[in-house]
């Protein structure tokens, strides 16, 4: 990674570029908040952010500390509650969900519950929160997470949030909306997609500047599909870095 920017900054910028103008997006805690804030400033000014505890359409002038914080209601178009927000997703009105996780498997299933056995676990994690609802009910989901073999695993220790479950037809068999599911993983090394319509397994599609395909493979705990042409993502611009460091996260809470 370049001395000009960190792997985390590269990941945030890549995630911000994935956010589409004029869409609704469920934003999770942490890195997704920074990416959404950057996207609103540069790429998606009419992005409608949706937060678990009721903030809808907030302008992220300052970084929220949590999905229930007052900043998730700043200049929002609506301030409701968690039941209304989840019903909105159930009705099919949320385009994207941006999620994090401790583990992800080849089909995009996420674990934010435990590492090891459920009882007693090696590590007890925060749990689902709204993660299961987001992964189950948003039309498309994007995972944002660090890339290493401990996190990209053959099978998650606990299935908190469904991706494509056990492969083709898995979501439909579970009663989830047809045509929904994960479309992208934004990691600290690369951009990955899925073989949708085929095996539904994770596929490497682009690497960051200075990162090789071999490095991504070495840091993944399962066999990755490789796109016919693996491209290189553009590095962060000076303006992206300035906004991140000076306006969005000047105290360095996440970067």
| Banded pLDDT at 1 (limits 50, 70, 90) | low
How much is the pLDDT for 129?
A: 87
How much is the pLDDT for 3?
A: 84
Does any domain span residue 36? Answer: yes
Contact indicator for 107, 176 with CB cutoff of 8 Å: no
Each residue of 41-67: pLDDT tens digit?
A: 999 999 999 999 999 999 998 888 888
Number of independent structural domains in the chain:
1
How much is the pLDDT for 229?
A: 97
Each residue of 137-189: pLDDT tens digit?
A: 999 999 999 999 999 999 999 999 999 999 999 999 999 999 999 999 999 99
Does any domain span residue 254? Answer: no
Does any domain span residue 253? Answer: no
Question: Considering only CA atoms, which of 254, 15, 243, 10 is closest in space to residue 2?
Answer: 10
Q: Could you list the residue range(s) of the whole structural domain that residue 147 is in?
A: 7-248
What's the burial of 183, exposed, middle or buried (CB within 10 Å: 0-12/13-18/19+)? middle
Does any domain span residue 16? Answer: yes
pTM of this prediction exceeds 0.85: yes
DSSP string, 156-221: -SS--B-SSTTSTTHHHHTTPPTT-EEEEEEESSEEEEE-TTTT--EEEEEE-TT--HHHHHHT-S
What is the arithmetic mean of pLDDT over 239-243?
97
81: domain CATH number is: 3.40.1080.10
How much is the pLDDT for 235?
A: 97
Question: Considering only CA atoms, which of 103, 71, 116, 130 is closest in space to residue 202?
Answer: 103
Q: How far apart are CA 132 and CA 159, in angstroms?
A: 9
Q: How far apart are CA 135 and CA 29, in angstroms?
A: 15
Question: Residue 42 has which token pair?
Answer: 């540069």
Each residue of 116-126: pLDDT tens digit?
A: 999 999 999 99
Each residue of 75-105: pLDDT tens digit?
A: 999 999 999 999 999 999 999 999 999 999 9
How much is the pLDDT for 20?
A: 94
Cα–Cα distances (Å) from 143 to 118, 233, 246, in that order, read: 23, 17, 26
Each residue of 209-239: pLDDT tens digit?
A: 999 999 999 999 999 999 999 999 999 999 9
Residue 118 bridge partners (DSSP):
none
Does any domain span residue 184? Answer: yes
Q: Helical H runs in the chain?
A: 7-18, 31-42, 82-90, 131-137, 170-173, 213-218, 238-242
Residue 56 bridge partners (DSSP):
50, 78
How much is the pLDDT for 191?
A: 98
Residues assigned a catalytic role: 52
How much is the pLDDT for 29?
A: 82
């Amino acid at each position: 990674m370049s001395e000009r920017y960190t792997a985390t900054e590269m990941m945030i910028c890549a995630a911000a570029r994935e956010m589409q103008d004029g869409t609704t997006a469920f934003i999770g805690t942490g890195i997704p908040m920074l990416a959404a804030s950057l996207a609103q400033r540069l790429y998606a000014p009419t992005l409608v952010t949706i937060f678990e505890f009721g903030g809808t359409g907030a302008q992220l002038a300052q970084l929220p500390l949590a999905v229930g914080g007052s900043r998730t209601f700043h200049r929002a178009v609506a301030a409701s509650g968690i039941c209304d927000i989840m019903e909105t997703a159930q009705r099919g009105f949320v385009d994207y969900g941006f999620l994090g996780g401790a583990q992800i498997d080849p089909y995009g299933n996420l674990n934010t519950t435990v590492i090891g056995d459920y009882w007693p676990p090696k590590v007890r994690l925060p749990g689902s929160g709204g993660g299961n609802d987001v992964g189950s009910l948003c039309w498309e989901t994007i995972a944002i997470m660090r890339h290493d073999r401990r996190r990209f695993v053959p099978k998650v220790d606990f299935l908190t949030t469904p991706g494509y479950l056990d492969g083709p037809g898995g979501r439909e068999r579970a009663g989830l909306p047809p045509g929904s599911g994960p479309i992208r993983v934004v990691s600290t090394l690369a951009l990955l997609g899925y073989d949708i319509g085929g095996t539904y397994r994770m596929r490497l599609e682009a690497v960051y500047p200075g990162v090789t395909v071999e490095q991504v493979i070495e840091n993944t705990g399962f066999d990755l599909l490789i796109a016919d042409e693996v491209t290189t993502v553009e590095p962060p611009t000076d303006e992206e870095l300035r906004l991140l460091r000076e306006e969005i996260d000047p105290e360095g809470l996440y970067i």
